[in-house]
Structure 1
Amino acid sequence: MRGMRLRFLLLSLLGCLMLCAPLGISAQSGAGGQEPATVEARKTGDAYTLPPETMKKAVAYRRTRTALGFVETGWGILQLLLVLSFGIAYRMRNVAVNLTKKRWGQGAIFVLELLIVTSLLNLPLELFGHHLAVAYGQSVQGWGTWFWDQAKSFALTWGIGLLLVMALFFTVRKYPKGWWLAFWGVAMGAVVAGIFASPLIIDPLFNKFEPLQASNPALVARLEQVVKRGGVSIPPERMYLMKASEKVTGLNAYVTGFGASKRVVVWDTSIAKGTPDEISFIFGHEMGHYVLNHIPKMLAFIGVVLLLMFYLGFRAVGWLIARYGRAWRVPTQNDWGALVVMVLVLSVLSFVTEPLINADSRMEEHEADVYGLEAIHGIVADPQGVGQAAFQLLGETSLADPHPSPFVVFWTYTHPDISSRAAFARDYNPWVAGQSPQFFKK
C-alpha cells in the first residue's frame, strides 16, 4: 500500500505544481474462520480466481476505469491546449492584472481562474468516476460528502498551488536560464514537507483516525509480535485505525509520513473482513516499507525524475513560447499565461514518465510482499496460505481483473497484478533445504 499512498501524495503535489489535477497492500483473506488449504491443494489451480459472474463484473469495471483514466489524462492535456488556443489564458491574465497591481494578488486570481476552468471541464468525468465506483460497490459515499471533499481538495490545491506558483515565477525572473534547477529544489522541499505534514494536517481533513490501541488492543498485541520478529521499533502509538468504511468498501493499509509523523494506518474495512493472521501479514508488509527504507528511496527516485522533467520542461516551454507565443498571446515565460504552457508540458511529461515511476513502485511493493511473508513465519501456522488468502479477498473486494492487459499493468499499475502476488505468496517458501530468506535468518 505504501507505493500507492506515496505515489498519490507525490503526484498530488506535482498536480499542485501543474495545477491540473499518494502506499499499501490492500490484503485480507477470503472467508474468515476457514482452515487454510494445504500447499498441494493450493497449487492445483490459479492462485487468484473469481466466480463467473464476479469475473464479468470485475473485467467490465476495470476496463471502464482504465479507459476513464486514459480519457482523463488526454482530456486534461487537450483542455490546456484549448485554453491557450482560444485565448482564454490571455483573458484570465488580463482579469488578474486589471484587478490588482500587486504580484501576489495577480497570482492568486490567475491560479483561481485556472483552477475553476479546469475543474469545471473535468467535472463530468469526475462525476462519472464516482458514479461508477458507487454502481460497482466500491464506494458508499453520498454525493453531499463527495462534493464537500472536492471543495476541500480545491481549496488545498489553490492554497498550496499559489505558493508553488509564486515560487516558480520568482525563480523564472531571478534565473531565466536556470529556473528549472532552482525550482527543482523548491519542489523537492515541498514534496518532503508534504509527506511530513500529510498524516498530521491533510489526511484528517478527509478521513477519521484513531489510535489502534483504543479500539483493538488485542490486535495491537498481535502486531507487536511481528514488530519483535522484525527487530524494529514501531510503538503502538504509531499504529492508527482509519474509518474508511464511511466512504469505501475496499481494503487497505499503508505507511505514511516520516520522522515524528511516520505511522502505520490500517483501514477499518481490513479489520472487519480480515483474520488476525491476515492482518499480521498486512502489517508485516507495511513494516517492510519501514525496514527497507522505501520512502527515502522513492523520494530519491522521484527527485531524479522531477529533475529530468523540469529540465525538459524548461526546454519545451521556451520552444513553445517562441513558436506559438504570438498566437497564444503569451509573449514571455514571465507572463502569467506561461503557467498554462508549463502545466501543459509537465502534464505530457508526467504521462510519459508514469510507467517508469510505476515500475519502481511495483518493485518496492514486491519487496514488501517478500518481507511480509517472511515476517509472519513462525507467528502464523501457514504463511503461504495466509498470504494467498489475503490477496484473494483483496481481489474480490476491489474487483481486480485476474488477467489484466500487460500494457495496462506496465503503464498504470503501482503494484504487481493481484494474480502474480497471490501466486508468489502461495509458492514462496525459502525455509526449505537449499534456500534462504531474503530478509530474515532461518
Structure 2
Amino acid sequence: MPSFPTVYTLPPDKLLKAEALGHARTLAHFGGTAWTLIALWLLVQSGLGARIAGWAARITPRRWLQGILVAPLWLLVLTALDLPASLYLHLQYRLYGISVESWQLWLSDFAKSTALTLIVGTAALAVLYALFRKSPRRWWLWFWILAIPCEIAAVFVVPITIDPLFDHFSPLAQNNPALVRSLGRVVQRGGLQIPPSRMFVMDASRKVAAPNAYVTGFGASKRIVVWDTSLTMETPDEILSMYAHEQGHYVLHHIYLGMLYSFAVMLVFFWIGARLLAWASARFGARWRIRSLDDWSSLGLLFLAMSLLGFVAEPVANAFSRWEEHAADVYGQEALHGIVADPQAVTAESFQRLGELWLEDPAPNPLVGWWTDSHPSVAERVRFAAHYDPWQPGSHPRYFPPSP
C-alpha cells in the first residue's frame, strides 16, 4: 500500500465542520443570489427606477449628468443587497477558524471595494447608456467590442494597482531565498524565464489561517504570488508542488485562454441580454414606469437581467476553470519529476493538507460543485494525484518528454 493518501478523508471532528461549512457556503451562494434577484424584481416592480430617474432629471437636463447621479445610487443598492450573504459567510469562516480577519480590516476592504465599484461601475454604465441611445439595435455588440480592451487592461493593471490596496506584497527572494533557489529548479525544468522579481509573498496571515498561491497578470505585470501562510503551514516540497501547479498556468497559457473564453461567453450573453431587456421593457415597461431602455429609469431592470444571466453563466465559466485547473495539476505533478523524491506522494499530501486546512467536504454535493466550483474537488485531486504516474513503463507524460 502507498505511504501517502490515495483517498481524501477527514477525522470525525473536522468532517462535521467541513460538512457544516459546505452547507453554509451553499446557503450563502444560492440564498444570496435568490435574495438579490427577488429584491431587484420587487424594486423594479415598485417603480423605484422611475422615481430615481425623475429626481435626477429635476436636478439636471443633461443625460450624462443624470447618470452620474443615478448610477451610484443603484450600485449602492446592489452592494447593500449583496451584503447579508457576504457578512454571513465571513461570520462562518471566523466561526470555523479559517478567517482571522478583524472586523475593522474587513470593513476597510469593504469600503475600498465599494469605492472601486462606484467609480468603475458608473463609468461603464455611462458608456453603456450612451450606446443605448446611439445604437438601439447593436449596442450589445459595440459594448462587447469596447469590453475586450478594458478586460485586457484590467488583467494587466489589477495586480499592480488594485491588489496592493487590499494586501501587502513583498519579494519572495527577501523572505525565503533558499525557497527561491528551489523554485528555480522547477522554473528551469519548465523551460521558462521567471526571475525572482516576478515571485511575491502576500501577507495573507492577517486574514486567513490557510495556505494558497496564484498567478495573475500578463506581460510586465505577470507574477506568481505565494501566501505567507504557505511558508509556515506547508513543507518545502509541498510549496514546490503548489508552485509547479501555478507555473502550469503560465506554461499552458491559461491567462490568455481564459480571456479568449471570457470574450466568447460575454458575446453570447450580451446577445441574450439584449433580447431579454428588449422583451421585458416592451412587455412590462409601462407597468414599471420605464419609458425606454435608454432612459435611466431602466437601470434596475438592467441589474436584474445582469444578475440573472450572471448566475446562469456560472457553471459555464466554472467548467472551463476546472478544465484549466486539472491541466495545471497534471503539469505540476509532471514538473516535479526528478526534483522531489516522489511527486505522487508530495502532490497527494499537499492536496490532503489543503483540504484539511480549508475544511473541504470529502463528499460535496455534485450539483452544487458543478454550478459553483472553479476547481476540481479536493477528493478528485487527491485521487488523481495518487494514481497519476506517467513515468512508469508503458506510460507517457502529457507535457514533458518521457524519460530516456
TM-score range, shorter chain: over 0.9
- Consecutive unaligned residues of structure 1, counting only runs of 5 or more, are 1-38
- Which residue of the partner structure matches residue 248 of structure 2? 288
- In the other structure, the counterpart of 1:224 is 184
What is the rounded CA distance, in whole Å, between the counterparts of 2:219 and 2:166 in structure 1? 22
Note the C-alpha offset of 1:101.
3.0
Q: What is the match of residue 204 of structure 1?
A: 164
Shift in Å at residue 411 of structure 1?
A: 0.7
The 5-angstrom pairing of residues 298-313 of structure 1 reads 298-313=258-273
Select between 87-96 and 179-188 the one with higher mean Cα deviation.
87-96
* Counterpart position of 1:19: none
Of residues 101, 104, 117, the one that matches 1:144 is 104
Paired residue type of 2:11: P
Over residues 343-376 of structure 1, what are the superposed CA-to-partner deviations in whole Å (9 max), with x where a residue is unaligned?
2112111111211111111011000000000101
Of the three residues 361, 377, 382, the one matched with 1:401 is 361
Alpha-carbon offset, residue 250 of structure 1: 2.2
What CA distance in whole angstroms lies between the structure 1 residues aligned with 2:87 and 2:344? 40
Correspondence 1:254 to 2:220: no
Which structure 2 segments of 5+ residues have no match? none
- Distance, in Å, in 1 between the alignment partners of 2:2 and 2:179 is 30
Distance 1:85 1:249 in 2: 44
Letter in 1 for 2:360: A
TM-fit CA distance, 1:76: 1.5
Pick one of 369, 382, 385 that aligns with 2:345.
385
Residue aligning to 1:162: 122
Task: Tell which deviates more after alignment, 312-321 or 119-128.
Answer: 119-128
Deviations 1:100-136 (A, max 9, x none): 3333332121111112223333333322221111111
Letter in 2 for 1:394: L
- 1:376 and 2:323 matched: no
Greater Cα offset, 391-400 or 344-353: 344-353
TM-superposed CA distance for 1:41, in Å, is: 3.8
What does residue 282 of structure 2 align with?
322
Deviation at residue 155 of structure 1 after TM alignment: 0.5
Q: Please show how residues 241-280 of structure 1 align to structure 2 within 5 Å.
A: 241-280=201-240
Worse-matched range after superposition: 340-349 or 273-282: 340-349
**Which range moved further: 282-291 or 98-107?**
98-107
- The 1:120/1:353 distance shift into structure 2, 3 A limit, reads closer
Q: Kindly state the Cα deviation for residue 318 of structure 1 after the two structures are TM-superposed.
A: 0.5
- The percentage of aligned residue pairs carrying the same residue is 46
Report how far residue 231 of structure 1 moved.
0.5
Give secondary structure in 1 for the equivalent of 2:200: strand
The root-mean-square deviation of aligned C-alpha atoms, in Å, is 1.2
Q: Partner of 1:335 in structure 2?
A: 295
Give the C-alpha shift of residue 79 in structure 1.
1.6
Amino acid at match of 1:236: P
| TM-score under structure 2 length normalisation | 0.97
1:50 & 1:321 partners in 2: Cα distance?
52
Q: Partner of 1:367 in structure 2?
A: 327
CA distance in 2, matches of 1:259, 1:310: 28
CA-CA distance at 1:50 after TM superposition? 0.5
Runs of 4+ in 1 over 6 A off after TM superposition: none
2:31 is equivalent to residue 40 of structure 1: no
Could you tell me how far apart the structure 1 residues matched to 2:146 and 2:170 are?
33
1:9 corresponds in structure 2 to: none
Once the 2 structures are TM-superposed, how far is the Cα of residue 70 of structure 1 from its aligned partner?
A: 0.3
Counterpart amino acid of residue 40 in structure 1: P
Greater Cα offset, 86-95 or 148-157: 86-95
- Distance in structure 2 (CA, Å) of the matches to 1:251 and 1:212: 15
Secondary structure class of the residue paired with 1:327: coil
Cα distance in 2, alignment partners of residues 249 and 185 from structure 1 = 41
Contact 1:167/1:186, CA 8 A, preserved across alignment: no
Is 1:57 the counterpart of 2:33? The answer is no
SS at match of 1:430: coil
Of the three residues 91, 108, 121, the one matched with 2:68 is 108
Higher relative contact order (CA 8 A, sep 6+): 1
Counterpart amino acid of residue 341 in structure 2: A
TM-score by length of 1: 0.89
Separation in 2, partners of 1:366, 1:124: 33
User: Which amino acid in structure 2 is aligned with residue 322 of structure 1?
Assistant: A
Q: Which amino acid aligns with 2:361?
A: D
Distance of 2:140 and 2:82 partners within structure 1: 28
The 2-side partners of 1:41 and 1:82 are apart by: 58
Q: Is the 1:250–1:269 contact (alpha carbons within 8 Å) kept by the matching residues of 2?
A: yes
**1:83 partner amino acid:** L
TM-aligned CA deviation for residue 257 of structure 1: 0.5
Please say if residues 309 and 346 of structure 1, whose CA atoms lie closer than 8 Å, have aligned partners that are also in contact: no
1:118 match: secondary structure: helix
Partner of 2:86: 126
Q: 1 CA distance for matches of 2:65 and 2:136?
A: 22
- Checking the alignment, whether the CA contact within 8 Å between 1:252 and 1:270 is kept in structure 2 is yes
Number of aligned pairs?
402
Q: Indicate the residue corresponding to 2:51 in structure 1.
A: 91
Alignment partner, residue 28 of structure 1 = none
